[in-house]
Amino acid sequence: MSIIDKFFNGGSARKNVPFGYDKRIVMPKSAQDTIPFYEVYDNGLFLTGVNTFTLIFAFSNIDYSLLRDREQEETYQRYQRLLNALPVEINFQEFIMNSSVNTAKLRNILISNNKEIPRDILDDYNKNLETYIAKSEDATSEKITLVAMSYTPNETVDNVNIMFRYYREMQNFYAAIGSETRQLMPEEVFAILYEYYHPFDNTEFLLPSDIYSRGGSIKDYIAPSMFAFRPKEVEIGNSYTRILYMARYDRTLDDEFIRDILDNNCKIVVSKHIKHIDKSEAQDRVKDNIYAHQGKIQARLEKTTKKD
């Protein structure tokens, strides 16, 4: 157990760590209980469930929408190969979150102070840039893109370091579609969680420099002031959120719909969970879908015949 474990859980470690957690589903009693990690280790792995370990890595945006149709198709096929390469025992979650555009950073990059340019021309130039910076803040957002790979060893003797081997394999597949990856360390993940729980708070996430020496719970610095489930929404601190669930979707939704719903400055998060299944199970599911579709067609034909 690392020093991070102790303070992530408020100084009280669970029994039988990291194995033997209760499998019952329990409604969270506090905002801290909604944070999906039990423990964090020095190698960057998170304990996220019953004997389940998670490695989190970021992947860079490849500007898919700017590619030509043929390039989009080739990239999508490579992405499908990436997903098909997932081992059966790995749970794979893609997480994309809209984050506010850093206008201060844009101004530092774009606004010119070139003294060689006449002042009136420079002022007009910077004024136009300010207009476009303001428009970008109102129309679009930065994207936080990451993947959480989870693995549950079958026995206590299994080596969880197998996660790092799977991660290296995933790096090669992401490189094939032009995306760079890097593992996120705990405090980077804490900062992303903080932004998720405080969507309209523009303050930077900071941990006290002496937190490890004086003790305390890291979750207290991440969690919102409150977390409550309402009939139609979830109350998080001083904001509200709603969760929509899709069991499955067509491939055109995969590369167009998700892109379109994120192309704005709204506080939207897309979380896509993928579990690789055996070939036989996949064939059974396809057959079931075909039979169900044929049944709907037959019912529609019979209904049309009765009307005639």
What is the tens place of the pLDDT at every residue in 191-225?
Answer: 999 999 988 887 888 887 777 677 667 888 888 88
Burial 241-273 (b: 16+ CB within 10 A, else e): eeeeeeeeeeeeeeeeeeeeebeebebeebeee
CB 92 within 8 A of CB 147: yes
For residues 183 and 197, what is the distance between their CA atoms, to the nearest angstrom?
A: 22
Inter-axis angle of helices 162-176 and 69-84, nearest 10: 170
pLDDT at 158: 58
Element (H, E) at 156: none
Token pair 């979650």 is at which residue? 93
Instruction: Measure the CA dihedral 173/175/181/183, to 10°.
Output: 50
CB 173 within 8 A of CB 85: yes
Residues contacting residue 260 through CB under 8 Å, at least 6 positions apart: none
Which positions of the chain have pLDDT values less than 50? Answer: 1-23
pLDDT at 93: 92
CB 34 within 8 A of CB 73: no
For residues 223 and 122, what is the distance between their CA atoms, to the nearest angstrom?
A: 45
**Residue from 143, 179, 146, 147 nearest 263 by CA:** 143
pLDDT at 46: 92
pLDDT at 190: 92
